[in-house]
Chain A
């Protein structure tokens, strides 16, 4: 549960939001430089016509891996939030695989993913707003359906 529990004091530090913005901006420059902001390049990767994208995810995860492992091993806490450095570990369940499969169909169909879509808007690709709108519709749908299902489940147990 990254975030929950410590989130309250996140925004209290005056440098918190500027740092998040700076990190996001470097992230966005990376997406533009790597051409991942262009759905065509992603589709060509998935169609084996240009495998360069392995260096994007590979390069990014190596850089992140070094920082995560080093700082986690240091046992220290982050200066702006007091949050203890840790790795990103999520619990495994069926939804991880089903969700990955559904995401894969969408990615293969369109060549976009969330971060790359925001960066695509940044490079002036306004057509991507169809994709971003779709993502919000999809995120809302899954939230609505999961909540209805949870309510139905709760009602059934109550009986």
Chain B
């Protein structure tokens, strides 16, 4: 019994409540949009649909991006506002990451390329696609999960923190 508790504490040193509640709320936000509109809202299409405002590239001027760009801006503003409201209410607002800006920037470039080439991200494939039982999404999630684990372990092994 003690060993089992110890194992749980090792695997989940912060407990699981905030993770489970947060996950359910993320799902609920997606469901609110779906129930009213039938749209599977993912977060990464915003990158390309927003580029359509300023770039004449035909890739970004596709009807699916141009027609959805306004609501995707609103969706993203909602995400920012929701997180801001919560953190202001709890007093966590103003927290900043210790991850080096260069890692954020170069990581960001790869995320921009990879999510758009791979047709989705953690929310589009990970939540909507997995929730749909889509084989494409499950394969995509398994791929990015395994690769990310390998890279993050490598970063840690090289002594880079956080």
Contact = CB atoms under 8 A, between A and B. Distances in A.
Contacts of B141: 100
Contact of A124 (B37, B94, B101, B130): B94
A102 B117 contact: yes
Nearest to B154: A108
B36 interface: yes
Nearest to A126: B96
Contact of B83 (A32, A40, A80, A111): A32
Nearest to A145: B113
B98 to A, nearest CB: 7
Interface of B is mostly: helix
Contact of A109 (B33, B129, B151): B151
A134 B82 contact: no
B12 A52 contact: yes
Interface residues of A, number: 124
A71 B37 CA distance: 12
Given A62-B131, A96-B139, A105-B148, A22 B48 contact: no
Interface string B48-90: 1011000101111001100110110011111111111111000
B122 A87 contact: no
Interface of A is mostly: helix
Contact of A61 (B27, B36, B115, B148): B27
B117 A107 contact: no
Contact of B71 (A10, A28, A56, A88): A10
Interface in A126-159: 126-128, 130-144, 146-147
Given A90-B120, A100-B147, A102-B118, A80 B87 contact: no
Contacts of B5: none
A108 B130 CA distance: 20
A106 B110 contact: yes
Interface of A: 1-4, 7-8, 10-11, 15-17, 19-40, 43, 46-65, 67-69, 71, 77-81, 83-92, 95-128, 130-144, 146-147
24 contacts: A24-B78, A26-B29, A30-B26, A35-B22, A50-B11, A50-B14, A56-B26, A57-B122, A57-B126, A58-B23, A59-B27, A85-B38, A90-B119, A96-B136, A105-B151, A108-B152, A114-B44, A115-B44, A121-B83, A123-B83, A125-B97, A135-B115, A137-B109, A141-B109
